[in-house]
Structure 1
């Protein structure tokens, strides 16, 4: 992963500076370094999970082990029967993206990183016709850590440069609007049947 993550971040930083009117590279760096109250970043392999003592939240959940951010295989979910009615994933962190949101309930699926030959690569979900998908309510106090700022334009750069993960706390409404509109790679934390944290994975 370390062979291509720096390239992704470097390329994205330049793109963000060009897209942000009047922004400077130094401002982008400062924005990336700014974190929401109570948040922290770990290595990309053991990406951030939130503890119960997050400021301004009431949903307590443990620190779950995170998958590789740029893992090249779909995460297994032994014991989950995907042939039955779509349901929540077990407790833990899924590398995935939200595909649909309705009435505060999100449908989501696992993703994997596909290395490219002419580009760094891209994330992809299960093939068409695959039934590997989940559905969970988005917690009222969900922690949404954005890699692109809170604005609808998504031209900011609010990412930890060491992990490639979002570092800016944004609202639940921003999460739902953005992730219902387009598929954004993220680490999705599920606890007791609810999505309690979504941390975006930065890709240029």
Structure 2
């Protein structure tokens, strides 16, 4: 729902170019939502595995920001009308801004540790750039997301883990080793065991 709301807030029109910075649990869905509204999509990340996933999900172009200058690579493909920032590295925000065409929209979703954004006023004014914050979504957005998925229009890429693997799973996510999303498997026996342990006399 988070990136569904971001694409709606970006007011994407068919034929525009949407650049998604950060392909993962959010980014792999942003690609699909942007394509559903008729946009061309450029996916930017620093790992080949995630960029391969982006291509499989329909990204028109992929850019490995670890290997090339992402701004120049995006410019080579015509520039960005919308840049959706899902990565948290400070450099990504600057890259996303610089990749925007005249009238472009910078959509801020991720929350970096510093919590501050610096944009050049001169370029923002002369190019008519909009900076838009987008967080989560509404109940109606959730209804629409479920309807799209039920109709087979989107794919949620997941890997399952046992609940006992939660600490290792967090480390996987922090290391960027997860293609998209992790889901935990709950077994009824585990729930009963935890309940009984909490009720046991001390």
The bucket for the TM-score relative to the shorter chain is under 0.3
Q: Structure 1 length as normaliser, TM-score?
A: 0.22
Q: Structure 2 length as normaliser, TM-score?
A: 0.22
The structure where helix makes up a greater share of residues is: 2
The structure where strand makes up a greater share of residues is: 1
Which structure has the greater CA radius of gyration? 2
